[in-house]
Every structure is written in structure tokens, then in C-alpha cells.
Amino acid sequence: MHRLKINGEQVEVDVRGAESLAAVLRERVGLIGTKIACERGECGACTVLVEGRATMSCIQPAALVTGDVETIEGLAEEILDLRAEFADRGAFQCGFCTPGQLVRATALLRDAAPRAGLDPEEVRHQMSGNICRCTGYQAIVAAVVDVAERRAGVDR
Amino acid sequence: MSYVGTSQRPHDWAARTDGSTLFAADLRLPALHAAVLRSPHPYADIVALDTSRAERMPGVVAVITAADFAPDAVYVHRGAPLSDRPPLARGTVRHVGQEVAAVAAETYVQAVAALAAIRVRYRPRKAPLTLAEATAPGARRLHERTTDEPNVSVLFATEWGDAATGRAHARTAVEGRFAYPSVSHACMETNTTLARWNQADGTVELWTSTQAPWFIGKEVSQLLGLEHDQVIFREVATGGGFGSKSKASEHEVLAAALARKANRPVLLSLTREEEMGANKPRHRFETWLRTSVDDDGLVRLYESDIRVDNGSYNHMGPSVMRVGAITLGSMYRPDGAVIEARLIDTATQPGGQFRGYGTPQVSLAAESQLDELADRLGLDPLEMRLRNVNREYATTLCGYDVTTARLADCLDAVRTELDWDRRRADPRPDRGVGVAAGSHGSGAYAYDLANRSDAAIDVFDDGRVRVRYGGSDAGTGQSTILAQIAADELGVDLADVEVLSMDSEQTPFELGAWSSRGTHMTGSSVGKAASEVAERLRDLARAKLGTQDVVLRDGQAVGADDAVALGDLVRLSDDAVDGVLSHETIYLLEGTEPLAPGKSTANLSPTYAYAAHGAYVEVDRRTGAVQLLDYVAAHDVGRAINPTAVEGQIAGGAVMGIGAALGEELVREGGRIINTSYLHYAMPRSADVPSVRPVIVNAHDPAGPYGAKSVGEMSIIPPGAALANAVQDAVGVRIRELPLTPDKVISALAEKEGRRRRHRIWRRPGRWWIALMRALYPLGLHHVLHHWGTRFGRGVGTGVADPESVTSLSAPDDLGTVLHEVAAGAQVIGGGSDAMVERRREAAPATVLISTRSVLALRGVRRAEDGALRIGAAVTLAELAEATRETVPVLAEAVDSIASAQIRNVATVAGNLVQEKRCWFFRNGFSCYKRNGVTSPCYAVLGDHRFQHAVIDGHRCQAVTPSDLATVLTALDARVELAAEDGRRTLTIEEFFVGPGETALRPGEVVVEIVVPAAAVRRRSAFRKLNLYTGDFATASAVISGDVDESGTWTEARLVLGAVAPVPWRAVEAEEWLCGRIAPTAAQLRKVLDRELDREAHPLPGNGWKLDAVAGLAEHVLEAVTGVRPGEGR
């Protein structure tokens, strides 16, 4: 049995061989918000945070994960502002890549917290591992930049 | 309040952003998993097919073949005689990837294992794979068709308008052949169906990713011998469609057939590889066009010969071709158009319906030529189009009755928003602007009943409202605008409106979202249903309140001095059942007409949308790279019902079109798609499209519901020509085949400037045998190796992740344990980001894996006392970048360009160095020389080798070492420390790499540290790479690292070129030249390097351009270290 801490809760899972973290989350723990779109670590739909760092869970062997895992389900409350901004700006259409985008952005926003916002170019570069086929990215970047700015304003 | 015309959040935004929205693969039915056996041959007869062994495999519950369907079962699409595609191959396969059999098993891995146990004996036939091959004299015919020409499935020849008048007024003409490649929809959710068979009533329930459930139901029912209403859809989210999910593919019927046979639920979810390699992409068009204009620049005549790659079955080819041709009869005001279009069968997967539907392809030709003509006449391209814009309320050549047409306003918006006049006059070289326009219908009367949409409204006694419609929202925002419309008609809060789609038992008839019909058809039907219910509610209120003057607002019916809640009115209604007042209605669109046999014109749509897009680009003449700086997409959408959603459709479609213009293209070898992964498919990432700005030209169209026109398809039409025109404006080369990849741009520039390289292989005996081998490949060597040699190889893995293939996976914290395990045969991995993927293609991957990530001793980056930089092998790329940003910025810079932030967070330095080659043949399942063994061919010799293969020192394998770090570390004279149980050794990095992605590591050895000597740390260095999208591997890269003394003299120099040779390649002669130089210029270095490259290189026929590109990168990096800005000092 492998012990995982997922969204703050200890879970014991019988991980099979090289089973991916994404498969474990979806099939064993029932956290289907983490999506699988390429299963090769190339698109970002499966992004979760492991020890606070954005990780492609579709190629991350679950057996090697020891730190805290955070998924969209666990983060939804923390990023209510970002989710609302995504909705207001049209930063998602079909929504399939959206959990991955939001989780990736969460790590960026946390890193940015001590600073005064995020630079759009940095957001674009840092989020280029998250493919979106619907929106053309403009609204996603704008939403992340806006929320970073707003949070910086509140924090100051 | 009024919601129509205002931006509103998607109605289900909360669920879409907290992970709770259910897509088909998220449902938790206890389902079997299905896998599909696909043809490896482009064209072959099936001599024998035996599934008996597969049926006995562990976990297998059902296997189906063509025998499980009626002997004449075919997808009907638009009906005979064009219907030609069986649900599973019957006797013959006609493309690589065609479905031959399908298996349902307890697990996906079991299903895949069973596929291997199905015995199929094929008799391959010579296959026409391209338009040229299919129409060559004596070409093998794929089908018996009704036209006289071989492999021409449909011939459409028409003359619209008055060609003679057009010809008489024509003063200037240009002609040319344009090609728009086949591209993939690449929806984030692969095509997925969950099917449940209900034995009791013989129905099948489907949860499927679709834009048009009605069509799927029609195909599934007729192929399974059921009635249409025996196929029952359930609402489920659809993860992107873009057309691909608007007609039945195969997964729907295969899942249903397997569920029936197994009598258990079955989940069939295509892999990414299947999605990109075997689904139905955009049709490739080769369009010859001649555009004739008069002296005023008015288009007078179009003459065109259009050749459409149908693929192996008709699927949607006939109508895609037709709509493509209509481009020339619907835009502008020519006197006539003479068109011949051929739909040509090739032994490749059938093309499918894709956003834009033939229009982007033909538009590329028409809008490029408009610029060529503007140039001839000395007109501004915007002015050229303004003179030609469609008139309002006029009939076009193809029979379209235009209502409003605000193309001129769109063009003006481009001029203003893009700052067209200033940027066009911008003296900065290599920057340019381009514009293109287009139009698209709002729905099309393309099928029976396509002019009808039904919708239903429920009003509950608690005041809530529900919209029911039979379509499906694949992400377009359709459901949200329907809720807005219902809320307005009924005067309720938008939050009180819910929407139910695609439930066969609850939602009324509706053909679905295709042909840009969603907004018009369902907007109209829902509006009608809601207004009819509203009238009933007002009637009830009039009776209750005793006044005629009643309005619905704020959830109430409000009279002169009293009000009553809608819920109370529901309770008063005799028609309400169980507290719900329901109303269903039919909207019938008047004034449009279907295409009929023998009739070439028709008013297909109620309204037509227009758009103009403007692009501002910078072209790097040194590398051929096209950088998009700014993009404006101005659209005449009538009235935007939900402006934010409209802007989303514009930006999304524009970026998809920009992707096809700049990088996307499905590439085949032997009929098989090579680039079946996102990695090898150059789709835009966020950083590639820094500024795409939608502009809504708001108006009101009398034909549209609430004044609206379509938008979803319109936005993908102009980008191809807009970008091609901008590149022409920037550097003066006209490229007529998309995508505008650096190879095409730099080759066109080289041709224009008369540059040529000579490599004089005859003077280099060391290259003779490679030259001989390359010469023999097309003469039969490739054929022999491919057909016979590959049979003697070690095999290739399926590409499927099998967790059980690993028996032990650990991450010990001490190096001793790692070395011990590795000595015993374990495979060492770092973060696993490459190894866990790569092993799926190995015939016999290691079963014991051991990770270095927990070995503390390998996880540090430190400066040694002597000033050297010592990098632990298990340091992640992100950690390396962090640690070197100030001290050795060239390392951080290179790391930043690698893959994605997520990968950089786990990938290790050693893992990056030892990663496998990125050759797309090697990676994507080809039985190649390196993968399968020495009797196999290198597919790159004859296949597409433009981007990823060697131009220097290529041998039997043409791949290169993919690591950017390797290139940089070579320039930094790095040493690699290796450890094994029996001791340590140190290699220079040049000794470490011995071949493409191959190292001098011995069995039992592990990389423990990389050392950059102090002298190199202190040097000035710079790195630059050319790639096809942000995060892509290098197509070419260059690093320069040098010492410059106080007098400004170079005393030490390294110039290393990446991705051009099997290992990072030092330009030794250029290095020597640099030493002793004071302020060397880029132009001087280029001269020396060109000489060296000419002497040393031995490119393949299609990748010689990389020499120019890499030399251009060398110029860039020299300027970067000397602080010269590009262009200065040339």
C-alpha cells in the first residue's frame, strides 16, 4: 500500500507498478477533475501540484510521489477569484483543459504572491505547457494577470 | 434586465472550473474498456481474419469484426451512391489506421494485448497516397466511382454568372497553385463514447463527445439495425469539437456494437495517437486559381481548378469540396466564376468536417491573389478589398441572398486597430502587415430538415425555467446564449434558467451544432418556444390580475398595480403537469433552399457573416522564423448575443487558423501519419500568440435571432492568407503552401537572393558510402528494408502505458543502493518525464526502475573552491535554472526554453542529457533502424526530415541528440562524472555523447555530476534556438562562449551547433577564426562558418535549409555576447 496525501487527506492506495498519479487520482480516488488528454506529459490537462510544484500527473509514477498532492478539487475554494475571472473573460470554452490551466496558474499565483502581480509575458511563457484548443489563450493570460494584480493589491 | 447583447458567464461555469463537469470518460459505470485493431497498410486485401485466439485472452469479453454488422452496412452520411465506408473493414483496407476489429476487455491493457492476438493476413496492394499519385496515368483505383477519371470520386464543374463579360473587362490577372495542408482538430478531449446496452428493450444508451447527437443516432441505429429512437443519448460534456464531432466517426458505433455483444457497458476512448493518426482531419486542398481584375481593381473573373484530397472514403468530402468552391461565388462581386473541382481518392484516412469546411483552403488562394493584384496595381491591400466588398441585400454568384454585410466596417476596424497605415510604412526591415477577408453562412440547408429546429421550455412552480434542446454544446457557449434568450423572453433571472441538452428522452428534435447553425437555429427555436410560453403566462396573468397590460420581469408577471410570481401562474395553469408548465415548439426557417442534383446555386443560409483579419509579423531572415507580433480579427456578427463568448469564438478560431498558417500540418510517410503527438504537432502554445485581438463590428441583422449571425467558423477562414500576405509584405517572398514554416521562408529567401550551398561530396571519400546508401534508398533499398528487413527486427512497443510492465520502482536516498541496483540490471531514471513515455515503444522495456531523485548527494548545485560549477545529476531543470540565473545565465536561458514548466519541475539534468532522440519516426512507432534493428530502414532518408534530422555527419540513422543542455554544456567544456559500483570515471562532454541521444555510459554506470570548469563559468556565453513552438525541441540551436580580454580581443571561443549533427557539433574553424579577433561582426563570422558548413555538411534533400538557419543563429549569438543589436554592424 502506498500512502498519498491528497488535498490534505491521507489516502492509502494499492498502486500497481508504474501506474501514473493521474490514473490513481481518477480511478482509485475518484478525482476526475484531473484530465488525461495526451498521456505523454505534453499538454498539461493533467496538471496537479506535488509539493506545491506543477506536475504532469499522467507520466508521474504514483509510487514515487511522497509529498502533498493538490488537485483542482482541493484548490477550487482557494482560487474562487481566478475561476470567476476565467468565467467572466471567456478563458474556457469546452472546459477540458481548464482544471489543468487553473492548477498551473495557482502555482504561478502563489509564487507571485510576494511580488506586485505577474507580467503577461511571463504568464504566457510559464503556461505554455498547458494547451488550450478552444480559446486562443488571450483570455486565460488576461485572467491570470488580473487576478495576480488584484491579489497583490489586497495583500499590500 | 435584458441579457441578450450582454456578456454573461457560461451557465455552468462553476462546475467547469472546479473539476466536477462530467465528460464521457469521467462517468463511473462499471464499464469494459475497448481498443481498436487498425490497418498497418494503406491499401490491402484482407485474406484472412481470425479472432479466436483473442477471444480466449484474459479479460476479453467481446470481439467484433465486419461480420458483426450486416453485409452491406455502410455509413450513410448524405445517402447513396456516395456512401462507401463500412463500420469495420470488409475484405479491404484503404488507409493506415482503418478499423479492422475491436475488442472489449476488463482493462484497456488487456484489450490492447488481445489486439495483438488477432490474426490478420493482408495482401498489400500498390496504394496511391497523394493527389498526384492518385491521378497519375495507370493509378490503382481505390473504388469504382461514377466519374470517368481514375480515383475522382466527385467532379463538380460549374460556371457561375457571366464569365464572358468578366473576361472582356479583365485587364490584369495573376495565377498560381496554392496548397492548404491536412490539419488535425486536436480537440483536448479525444473522441470518447460510453455505451450501455439494455437487453430488455433493445436500446443502447450513449454518453458520447459530440456536437450533433441526432446524426450519431442516425448512423448508430442504421448500422446496428435498430430504429433511430432505440439509440438514446444522455447529456455529457463535450471537450471541443471544431467540426470533428459533428458526424459519426467510428467510436460511437463500435462502442455500441461491443456493448451489445458483451451485454455490458463499454468505454471507447481514442488515444491521442489514434485521435491524430486515424481520425478525420481537414481535407488537403490544392487550388489553382486565376483572378482577373479591371483597371479599378475590381475582381471580374475567377477561374479555378480545385483538387481535394478525399482520403479513402467519402465521409464529408463531397460537401466540403462544394463549400470550398462556393468561396469563389460568395465573396466580392465578380462577373463570373469558372470552377472545376475534383474530389480525389487517396489511400489515406478520410478527411472530415472541420471548422471552415473547405473555405479556409480556397480562401488562401483568393485572398493571396488579391494582394498580388493590389501590388500590381499599386493599391493598398485594404483599399483593394474595400473596392470589392459585397453589397448588402444583393445576390451572389452562387445564389446567396445576402442581408447585412459589414465587411467594409471590418476592414476599417483592421486599419484602425492594427495601426495599419503606420505599420505598413514602418521602415524597419523584416516587419510586415497582411490582411485577408472572408465570409461564411449561418447554418446551411445541407440536409433534410436542416431548416428545422425544435425546442422546449419548462417553467416550474418555484419560478425556475429550463431550456431543453437536442443539440450539444461542445464549448461554443450555445447553451449559455439559449439561457440568456429564455431569461429575456420570460423576464426571469439568468441564474434561474437551466439548460438540458442532448437527452433523447427529454429533448426535442434538433440536428446539432454544425455549419455554424447553432446560434441561428436554436436561438430561433428557443426564442420562439420561450416567447410562446411567455404569452401563455401573460394570458394567465391577465386573467388573474384583471388587466391587459402585463409584462414579465423579475420572475413575475407585472400588471398596472399588481404582480404575480411566475411559479404561481404555473400553478394556475390547466396545462401544468406536476408543477411544471412545459411547451415545445418547432421553428421552420423560411427562405433558404437545399442544394439539389443538377443545381449549382442555392441560398443555403438565412444570413452571412463577414470578417477581416490583419496580421503584423516579424520575419527573421537569418532563421526563417515568422513571429506574430499582433493580430486583429474584426467580425461582422450581426448583434453579439453574448459578446464575451463571441470574442472567445473569434480569438479561438483565429488562433486555430494561425496555427495552420504557421506550423500545423499532418505529415505522412507511406500513408501513415508520423506526427501523432502534441510534441510533434506544431500547434500554437500561449507564448506563440502574444496578441490576438477580436473586434466585434456590432450591428443588427434582420434575419438573425435577436439580430445575430454566426461566428464560430468564420474566424478560422482568413488567417492563412493574412499571414502569407504579411510575410510577403515583410520580406518580399510569396509562399503559396501552408504552413509558413522556417524551411519554406528561408528557402524562398535563399532562392530570391540566389544563395546556394555546394558540399562537394565527391571530394569527401568518408561520405561516399552514406551518399551511396542515400542514393539507393529510392531505387529499392527502402522498399526492401521496409517490407522485408523490418520482419527481422527486435520489435516495437505498442505505445500504450502498461503499469504492470514495471515490477519494481523505487527511489532510494543513497547512491550506493542506486549503483547496486543498476549493476543488477535496473534502469536508472531521473524524474521519469522521458523514460516513462519512451519505454512504451521499447520491445522489452526494463522491469526494474530506480530513480535518483531522492539521492540527496546528487541534488545540489554548488560552486567548488576552484570556482567550478558542480551540478548534481538529479537536480531538476527548474532548480538548475534557479541556481544559475545570475552566475551562468546561458544555462538558465537554455533551460527556460525546454519543454514546459511542469516538465522542468521534475526532469533532471542527467535525464535531459541521456534522453532518447526525438526523431518522429523513432518516437511514434515506426520500425526504424535504431528502434527495430539493422535490417530496418531509416525512415527519415525518404520521409519528412525537414526539422529534426542531421545535416552534418548523418549515418544510417539521421537523428540528432535532442538535449539543449548538451549543446550548451559542450560550449562550456563540461565534464561528466560517472559512477559505478566498481569506481568512478570522468569524461569530457564530447566523449560522453557518441551518437544521436546515445552516450558512452557503460552497463551499471550512472551519471552523478556535471562539472563546468571555472574558466568556462566566467566566459561570456549566449544560446539561441529555432523551434516550431514554445517548448519544442530545437530544430537548430547555437551557443557561443568566449573570453574577451581588456583590449577587446577574443582569447578563447566555442561555437557549438545543436540539432544539426548526431551530437552537439563544434564549428572548430569558426572558433579558431574568432580567437585573436577584435570585435568580430556577425557578417564576418557568417562567412567563415558558411565555408566550414559547406565543407563539412551532408544534408538530406529536404533539410539543407537548416544550415542557413543554424548559421543565422550563430550570427544572433555572436551579437548577443558582443552586445550588438541585430542588424547593427552588418
Please tell me whether the interface predicted TM-score (ipTM) of this complex is above 0.85: yes
When pLDDT is cut at 50, 70 and 90, the band that residue B1 belongs to is low
Task: Return the DSSP state at B271.
Answer: -
Which of B99, B713, B879, B1096 is an active site residue?
A: B713
Last residue of a domain, one of A75, A102, A129: A75
Q: What mean pLDDT do residues B59-88 have?
A: 92
| Mean pLDDT for all residues in chain B | 96
pLDDT digits (tens, 9 = 90+) for B628-685: 999 999 999 999 999 999 999 999 999 999 999 999 999 999 999 999 999 999 999 9
- Does A144 contact chain B (CB < 8 Å)? no
Judged by CB atoms closer than 8 Å, whether chains meet at A135 and B804 is answered as: no
> Measured on CA atoms in the order B140, B144, B145, B147, is the torsion positive or negative?
positive
Last residue of a domain, one of A51, A75, A99: A75
Same domain flag for A93 and A47: no
Q: What is the pLDDT of residue B252?
A: 98
Same domain flag for A87 and A127: yes
Same domain flag for A70 and A114: no
Q: Which residues of A touch B652 (CB under 8 A)?
A: 93, 133-136
Q: How far is CA B1126 from CA B428, B595, B1112, B1123, in A?
A: 12, 57, 11, 9
Grid coordinates 451485454 are at which residue?
B263
- What's the CATH code, domain B452-588? 3.30.365.10
In this complex, which of B476, B686, B804 lies closest to A127 when CB atoms are compared?
A: B686
Q: Is the pLDDT of residue B1125 over 70?
A: no
Structurally, chain A folds into a number of domains equal to 2
Nearest-neighbour CA in chain A from B543: distance (Å): 41
- Is residue B23 classed as helix, strand or coil in its secondary structure? strand
B1072 CA to centre of own chain: 45
Q: Phi and psi for B571 in degrees, rounded to 5?
A: -65, -30
- B55 counts as catalytic: no
Q: What is the pLDDT of residue B1126?
A: 55
Q: Is the pLDDT of residue B244 over 80?
A: yes
Q: Count Cβ–Cβ pairs < 8 Å, chain A vs chain B.
A: 251
Size of chain A, expressed as the number of residues it contains: 156
Q: Taking the CB of residue B771, how many other CB atoms lie within 10 A of it?
A: 14
- Does A38 contact chain B (CB < 8 Å)? yes
Among candidate residues B909, B347, B328, the one with its CA nearest the CA of residue B600: B328
Task: Tell me the residue type at B831.
Answer: G
Same domain flag for A121 and A147: yes
Q: What mean pLDDT do residues B59-85 have?
A: 92
pLDDT digits (tens, 9 = 90+) for B527-540: 999 999 999 999 99
Higher pLDDT, A155 or B197: B197
The domain spanning residue A39 has which CATH number? 3.10.20.30
Residues β-bridged to residue B592: none
Among candidate residues B114, B118, B116, the one with its CA nearest the CA of residue B61: B114
Task: Tell me the residue type at A97.
Answer: C
Same domain flag for A69 and A89: no
- Does B688 contact chain A (CB < 8 Å)? yes
How many whole angstroms separate alpha carbon B1069 and alpha carbon B1057? 13
Among candidate residues B709, B614, B619, the one with its CA nearest the CA of residue B654: B614
**Angle at Cα B217 formed by Cα B213 and Cα B222, nearest 5°?**
160
Q: What mean pLDDT do residues B324-348 have?
A: 98
Same domain flag for A104 and A129: yes
Q: What is the pLDDT of residue B1130?
A: 38
- Cβ atoms B170, B369 nearer than 8 A: no
- Cβ atoms B906, B833 nearer than 8 A: yes
Q: What is the pLDDT of residue B345?
A: 98
Q: What mean pLDDT do residues B788-799 have?
A: 95
Q: How far is CA A60 from CA A46, A69, B457, B532, in A?
A: 10, 12, 47, 55
How many whole angstroms separate alpha carbon B170 and alpha carbon B156? 25
Q: Is the pLDDT of residue B215 over 90?
A: yes
Domains B285-445+596-749 and B452-588 share a fold: yes
- Does B563 contact chain A (CB < 8 Å)? no
Enter the C-alpha cell of residue B605.
443560409
How many whole angstroms separate alpha carbon B614 and alpha carbon B726? 8
**Angle at Cα B632 formed by Cα B627 and Cα B633, nearest 5°?**
125
Locate all alpha helices (DSSP H) within B307-418, ordered by sequence: 317-330, 359-377, 381-388, 407-417
Q: What is the pLDDT of residue A155?
A: 52
CB-based burial label for B989 (10 Å; 0-12, 13-18, 19+): buried
pLDDT digits (tens, 9 = 90+) for B947-992: 999 999 999 999 999 999 999 999 999 999 999 999 999 999 999 9
Enter the C-alpha cell of residue A66.
511522497
Q: Which residues of A touch B878 (CB under 8 A)?
A: 53
- Cβ atoms B300, B338 nearer than 8 A: no
Among candidate residues B696, B609, B697, B615, the one with its CA nearest the CA of residue B658: B615
- Does B806 contact chain A (CB < 8 Å)? yes
Same domain flag for A134 and A90: yes
Same domain flag for A66 and A22: yes
Enter the C-alpha cell of residue B800.
500504450
The domain spanning residue A95 has which CATH number? 1.10.150.120
H-run or E-run covering B272 = helix B272-277
> Going by C-beta distance under 8 Å and a sequence separation of 6 or more, which residues neighbour residue B542?
B548, B550, B559
Judged by CB atoms closer than 8 Å, whether chains meet at A37 and B189 is answered as: yes
Query: How would CATH label the architecture of B285-445+596-749?
Result: 2-Layer Sandwich (3.30)
How many whole angstroms separate alpha carbon A129 and alpha carbon A43? 6
**Angle at Cα A69 formed by Cα A66 and Cα A75, nearest 5°?**
165
Task: Tell me the residue type at B227.
Answer: E
How many whole angstroms separate alpha carbon B100 and alpha carbon B37? 5
Q: How far is CA B739 from CA B63, B149, B1106, in A?
A: 41, 30, 17
Task: Return the DSSP state at B767.
Answer: G
Starting at the earlier edge strand, list the strands of the sheet with B692-697. Answer: B431-441, B608-619, B626-636, B692-697
Grid coordinates 462553476 are at which residue?
B14
Q: Is the pLDDT of residue B1128 over 70?
A: no
Interface mutation target, options B17, B192, B856, chain A, most CBs of A under 10 Å: B17
Q: How far is CA B374 from CA B124, B294, B423, B465, B704, in A?
A: 51, 11, 18, 55, 34
Judged by CB atoms closer than 8 Å, whether chains meet at B805 and A41 is answered as: no
When pLDDT is cut at 50, 70 and 90, the band that residue A112 belongs to is confident
- Does A74 contact chain B (CB < 8 Å)? no
Write down the domain spans for chain B: 285-445+596-749, 452-588, 767-1122
Q: How far is CA B927 from CA B796, B842, B930, in A?
A: 6, 11, 8
Percent of chain A with pLDDT over 70: 98
Locate all alpha helices (DSSP H) within B22-162, ordered by sequence: 52-55, 108-117, 131-135
Last residue of a domain, one of A43, A75, A107: A75
When pLDDT is cut at 50, 70 and 90, the band that residue B881 belongs to is very high
In this complex, which of A20, A54, A96 lies closest to B901 when CB atoms are compared?
A: A54
Same domain flag for A100 and A138: yes
Q: Which residues of A touch B187 (CB under 8 A)?
A: 94, 96, 133
Task: Tell me the residue type at B165.
Answer: T
Structural domain range at position A145? 80-155
Judged by CB atoms closer than 8 Å, whether chains meet at B188 and A37 is answered as: yes
- Cβ atoms A77, A67 nearer than 8 A: no
pLDDT digits (tens, 9 = 90+) for A45-87: 999 999 999 999 999 999 999 999 999 999 999 999 999 999 9
Judged by CB atoms closer than 8 Å, whether chains meet at B239 and A95 is answered as: yes
In this complex, which of B185, B837, B902 lies closest to A55 when CB atoms are compared?
A: B902
Q: What is the pLDDT of residue A156?
A: 45
Q: How far is CA B366 from CA B178, B195, B759, in A?
A: 9, 45, 40
Starting at the earlier edge strand, list the strands of the sheet with B869-872. Answer: B861-863, B869-872, B1006-1012, B975-980, B983-988
Interface mutation target, options B7, B183, B686, B715, chain A, most CBs of A under 10 Å: B686
When pLDDT is cut at 50, 70 and 90, the band that residue B499 belongs to is very high
CB-based burial label for B761 (10 Å; 0-12, 13-18, 19+): middle
pLDDT digits (tens, 9 = 90+) for B1020-1046: 999 999 999 999 999 999 999 999 999
How many whole angstroms separate alpha carbon A58 and alpha carbon A14? 17
CB-based burial label for B501 (10 Å; 0-12, 13-18, 19+): buried
Same domain flag for A70 and A104: no
Among candidate residues B855, B475, B508, the one with its CA nearest the CA of residue B649: B475
Q: What is the pLDDT of residue B766?
A: 95
CB-based burial label for B505 (10 Å; 0-12, 13-18, 19+): exposed
How many whole angstroms separate alpha carbon B374 and alpha carbon B384? 6
**What is the CB-side half-sphere exposure of residue B757 using CA atoms within 13 A?**
27
Among candidate residues B1092, B1091, B1088, B1083, the one with its CA nearest the CA of residue B1119: B1083
Among candidate residues B961, B963, B944, B943, the one with its CA nearest the CA of residue B953: B961
**DSSP of B645-709, one letter per residue?**
HHHHHHHHHHHHHHHHHHT----EETTEES--SGGGS-PPPGGG-S-EEEEEE----TTSGGGB-
Strand pairing class (B983-988; B993-995): unpaired
> Measured on CA atoms in the order B422, B425, B428, B431, is the torsion positive or negative?
positive
Q: What is the pLDDT of residue B598?
A: 80
